[in-house]
Amino acid sequence: MTPLRNPVFCALDTTDLNKATRMAARIGDTVGGIKLGLEFFTAQGRKGVEQVGKAGDAPLFLDLKFHDIPNTVAGAIRAATQLKPAIVNVHAAGGRVMMEAAARAATEAAEEFLVPRPLVLAVTVLTSMDDEDLAGTGVTRPVSDQVRALAELAQNSGMDGVVCSPHEASVLRADRGSAFRLLCPGVRPHGSAPDDQKRIMTPAEALEAGADYLVIGRPITAHQDPEGAAQSIIADLPKPAAPAGNTEYDI
């Protein structure tokens, strides 16, 4: 396993390669890892990911949320694994066969290309959604019930864990056990704006609830002193800083 210096993955939500590269270089020695999402990947592709990875010298979370037919998702995971990310993800709503194909593709690609196998996590319900938003998609049960159902499906489909709101971390830790990884966006330090997130907690609260990894973006990247902001967030984490599910921060 790859040890992490702390559980914070900083989200570089930008299309600008130079901006992302500079930020990764500035905070790569401070945060636990770097998150690159669809916005960046669509603009900069594989070469951009490789450049940011080299600049930051930190584990990468490729937050691409694949959701398609099983064969297509397997191919996408296979391609993503060659970029040596620590974490990749898919949508749990894609179903069991799709998730099984994703998990299998990560294992096979890692063996074929002689690279570490990434954790494959399943996105449950986006942290920008609440009960009303979910109902608009035709799912009438509460967000918490939907998250629990999708997490169970994900675990039974071979996923290493899920992406969930910190508000669901406690119940998922109890439901799914200590080895199941929980990655939580929707994490904001005290005094930060919620932006487009609806189900949020502070970093300390999220870890105490059972999260293994935290995604924090604008409170770090939009700060006039990103390194200082990251250091301040990390300094406020519970001591000893260890997630409920794992005795060390590792991938």
Q: What does the radius of gyration of the chain's CA atoms come to, in whole angstroms?
A: 17
> Which residue type does 1 have?
M
Angle at 107 between CA 249 and CA 214, to 5 degrees: 25
Indicate the DSSP class of residue 187.
B
Angle at 228 between CA 226 and CA 231, to 5 degrees: 110
Question: Residue 181 and residue 1: Cα distance in Å, rounded?
Answer: 13
Helix (H) or strand (E) holding 204: helix 203-209
> Of 37, 34, 26, 24, whose CA–CA distance to 4 is shortest?
34
Catalytic-residue membership of 19: no
Catalytic residue among 35, 47, 65, 198: 65
In the beta sheet, which residues pair with residue 11?
35
- 155-192 in b/e form (b: 16+ CB < 10 A) is bebbbbbbbbbbbbbbbbbeebeeebbbbbbbbbeeeb
Catalytic amino acids?
65
